[in-house]
Structure 1
Amino acid sequence: MNRCLFPVLAAILLLTNLKAPAQVMTEYGPVQTKVVDGDTITTVYLKPAFVFKRAADERRWSRLIYNLKVVYPIALEANATLHAMEQRMDSMKTKREKQEFVKAMERALKRKYTPVLKNMTLSQGKLLIKLIDRETDQTSYDLVKQLRGGFRAFFWQSIARLFGANLKDTYDAEGDDQIIEELIMLYEAGLL
């Protein structure tokens, strides 16, 4: 009896799986297939297509996507580091202890990010300033002023202005930075 039961159960399982929808990942994204009345229907979800009037616009768009892929993970990590620092500083009692902690964190961050930041382009740096504002809800200038003081913030703002950047730049998701916001949504969805 057991010898007959196994083939019957195996056949039932195989036949029930034939009508269930299947999903396979390809290089273009998920492909779903479904059998309806003996016909196989395949559904492929394509990435959004962008059409540009001029080749220069397409190059600018591609460059912005590349820069976002380079800079956005750094902005996310900056946000996580800032929150961890704030939590740790809340548990500290004296101002001196907080200052020493901030200096130690600054040295560690310089060791970690100096090679990365030195290889960034100016446009990537400007984008990073905006994304840090987006992630932390504070401008880069305010963060430096809060953590290291007004003189340091003024110094780094002056250096940034010499190169055409501004640490006081804010992120405007509905205005000037709407395209960046859309690209971030596509990046987070895995469509870039």
Structure 2
Amino acid sequence: MKHIFILLVLSSTFLASAQNVSRDTIIDDKILIEGDSIMFTLDDVMVLSKLKFDSTKEQRYYYWYWKKVNNAYPFAKLAAERLLQLNEQLKKIRSNSKRRKHIKKMQKFMEEEFTDKLKKMTRTEGRILIKLIHRQTGLTTFELIKEYRSGWKAFWYNTTASLFKLSLKSEYHPESKAIDFLIEDILQRSFLKGRLDRQKSRLAIDYLELVPKYKNIDIVEVINNRAK
């Protein structure tokens, strides 16, 4: 079941006066106007309920965490892009020694691209980042290290002491963890507002299906217990 709401408003006066209207065709989400040979696509629109807070404290907590998620997401998105790029390149390399050499080259590139900024991340942002890497790649940071040991191990363990203290096995489960749903809620709202560039998740997540489950979420409590 699609949880996308399409709003199509057509004036009855226009319909009555338009020529060849009976020859116009709607095909899935496209409208074909035969007489003018025009076809255009209707955009999907996700409608989210307006945020409501029970207290100023809850609002303050939400937007504090919103900032943390918005700071961490671009790095997870970029990591997913680099991983896809690396995988495509490795498919063309048959020699194991050349593959290892290429992974090390990618490691150096990522260190130059990420390291300084990652070192400035807070512990909370690092925790969110590890979860979002799982969301964007389908693999935990630990699994990425295991698969691309020569490149990723040094990157994660040697360049960021703060991230070293976090669990690199952390997974992203908004369907069962309230803190992960809160992250997903922030992402979806940030995507719609154009604050973040949407990148498809590698995990199967139906945000709108989860909304009713968490409608009474205690934001303050969830954020305070985020490390559990």
TM range (shorter): 0.5 to 0.7
Residue 58 of structure 2 corresponds to: 57
Distance 1:84 1:179, change over 3 A: same
Structure 1: 5+ residue stretches without partners: 1-46
Q: Deviations over 1:80-128 (max 9, x none)?
A: 1100100000100111111111111111111111110011000000000
Q: Deviations over 1:18-62 (max 9, x none)?
A: xxxxxxxxxxxxxxxxxxxxxxxxxxxxx9643333444322211
Q: Distance in 1 between matches of 2:137 and 2:119?
A: 23
Does residue 73 of the first structure (1) align with residue 74 of the second (2)?
Answer: yes
> Would the aligned equivalents of 1:160 and 1:166 in 2 still touch at CA under 8 Å?
no
Q: Which runs of structure 2 are paired with 1:137-152 in the superposition (5 Å)?
A: 137-148=138-149, 152=153
Shift of 1:178: 1.2
**Cα RMSD for the two superposed structures:** 2.8
Q: Which amino acid aligns with 2:183?
A: I
Q: Which amino acid aligns with 1:62?
A: Y
Structure 2: 5+ residue stretches without partners: 1-47, 196-228
Q: Which amino acid aligns with 2:108?
A: R
Q: TM-score, normalised by structure 1?
A: 0.66
When Rg is computed on C-alpha atoms for both structures, the one with the higher figure is: 1
Q: Distance in 2 between matches of 1:68 and 1:102?
A: 29
Does residue 93 of the first structure (1) align with residue 94 of the second (2)?
Answer: yes
> Would the aligned equivalents of 2:123 and 2:163 in 1 still touch at CA under 8 Å?
no
Residue 178 of structure 1 corresponds to: 181
Q: Distance in 2 between matches of 1:140 and 1:132?
A: 7
User: Which structure: greater strand fraction?
Assistant: 1
Q: TM-score, normalised by structure 2?
A: 0.56
Q: Deviations over 1:129-174 (max 9, x none)?
A: 000000000000000110016xx48x94xx66863x2100000021
> Would the aligned equivalents of 2:140 and 2:170 in 1 still touch at CA under 8 Å?
yes
Q: Which has the higher contact order (CA 8 A, sep 6+)?
A: 2
User: Which structure: greater helix fraction?
Assistant: 1
Size of the alignment, in residue pairs? 144
Q: Distance in 2 between matches of 1:170 and 1:70?
A: 19
Residue 102 of structure 1 corresponds to: 103
Does residue 188 of the first structure (1) align with residue 194 of the second (2)?
Answer: no
Name whichever of 181-190 and 125-134 sits farther off: 181-190
Distance 1:107 1:91, change over 3 A: same
